[in-house]
Amino acid sequence: MNTIGHYVDGSRTQGAARTAEVYNPATGAVQAHVALASAAELDRAVEIAARAQPAWAATNPQRRARVLMKFVTLLNRDMDKLAEALSREHGKTLPDARGDVQRGLEVVEFCIGAPHHLKGEFTDAAGPGIDMYSMRQALGVCAGITPFNFPAMIPLWMFAPAIACGNAFILKPSERDPSVPIMLAELFEEAGLPKGILQVVNGDKEVVDAILDNETVQAVGFVGSTPIAAYIYERAAAGGKRVQCFGGAKNHMIVMLDADMDKAADALIGAGYGAAGERCMAISVAVPVGEDTADRLIEKLVPRIEALKVGPYTAGDDVDFGPVVSAAAKANIERMVQSGVDEGAELVVDGRNLKLQGYEEGFFVGPHLFDRVTRDMEIYRKEIFGPVLSCVRAETYEEALGLAMDHEYGNGTAIYTRDGDTARDFAARVNVGMVGINVPIPVPLAYHTFGGWKKSMFGDLNQHGPDSFRFYTRTKTVTARWPSGIKEGGEFSIPLME
């Protein structure tokens, strides 16, 4: 059986003896093993990166940008190959896998503008004969710890701006779907990236702790659950590193009385059940305002949910979503669904009995819809990360707004309404990092920044957009004064002491 190793110093390496299993989520079968690096292996990769980084940082930003341009071309060339490898290990549909790669590619395109983004500021005549200017300089070696649910997009969000800024980068991807990150590193070097600048080290907590404790690593990015985000932030920051950690979410969509109910229902189907709900920006809570609004919304949702096609990515592009990533994830979702039933929520659509012929051992979970969920229930308080949509009925707009604002997570939210005043008020007041107005999944485009509030984010700079260039550089400010003399003309007599 194939063993997936690491990508270090420009080549694939097998790594030490310790491994983990990589499953095919559709069948439940083990399809490969992935090497789990030791702390010593991580330290070696960091040493190689540290040796390669100064020359890369000294490379003209425009020449670095040309490597990124070529990388974009290669990503487009191998889009289908990357998507198939991603779907095989993650389980998401091929169109969704292509979207995973595409949203990462768009960040690479933004980073091609590095020569502009890295420009400093200049003030002439700040004082008598004094000029002041600032420079943005690379940090050195940076690292990223990325999740299973976007094995292409989130690594690209991290290492593209870091490398564009002149840093070297150590990527620790999820051990559940490790193939695509290594393929990305190979493509980047095919584009002209020097060896050692981007390295992929697979592993578990041992490697994560080695990254956090390695003094050469200057910055760490993370995406995953909130408890681990808090752990990584605290440990890395205590070691003097720059850190950005993105955690869990519980995203609300407010549906007002005047909303187009068909459009709202369609939005909830895609945002709630796409990728089997394994998105940190998935809408998992619908908040219709008023009983009539709620009744009409449920009436629209039920037939749409019952018509969803669940299956393996090999079943064609008309599959709506595939399996969840692991047996443990499936078991947790089913436990949470039972918790909702036990606590009194109304299970309108029950997907627990989904069976697919030939895929009985796969990690498939059918779509679920709960109505009359209350804020004290576990299915409301906790992130489920599965195809489960909860409807929490609100009597007023203020009550609906309060639900989103009072929740401990603040990643994304949305409102569906035709009223501009309501939409403007919602966008201005809600304490959530990303807001959609008649847009269900408000993931910003690459030239804006991505990041939540509250317990969804630890740190003070977001991913991609202008914040990424701030995060992966340090600002140096220079004050210069040059002595006067040579501009006065040549001196033909011997200078005398004064």
391 is catalytic: no
Q: Return the closest-CA partner of residue 272 out of 282, 286, 261.
A: 282
Catalytic residue from among 111, 142, 245, 280: 280
Euclidean distance between CA atoms 100 and 146, whole angstroms: 14
Q: Count H helices and E strands in the chain, helices first.
A: 16, 23
DSSP 368: E
280 in Cβ contact with 222 (< 8 Å): no
For residue 391, the surrounding DSSP H or E stretch is strand 388-391
| Whole-Å CA distances, 157 to 101, 104, 380 | 11, 6, 30
Residue type, 446: A
User: In 98-231, at which residue ranges do the beta strands (DSSP E only) sit?
Assistant: 122-127, 130-138, 141-145, 168-172, 198-200, 217-223
What SS3 class is residue 18? coil
Chain centroid, CA 45 distance in Å: 23
Residues 6+ apart with CB under 8 A from 378: 336, 339, 340, 343
Rounded to whole angstroms, the maximal C-alpha distance in the chain is 101
What SS3 class is residue 465? coil
Euclidean distance between CA atoms 261 and 268, whole angstroms: 10
Phi, psi of 476 (to 5 degrees): -115, 130
Give the catalytic positions in this structure.
280
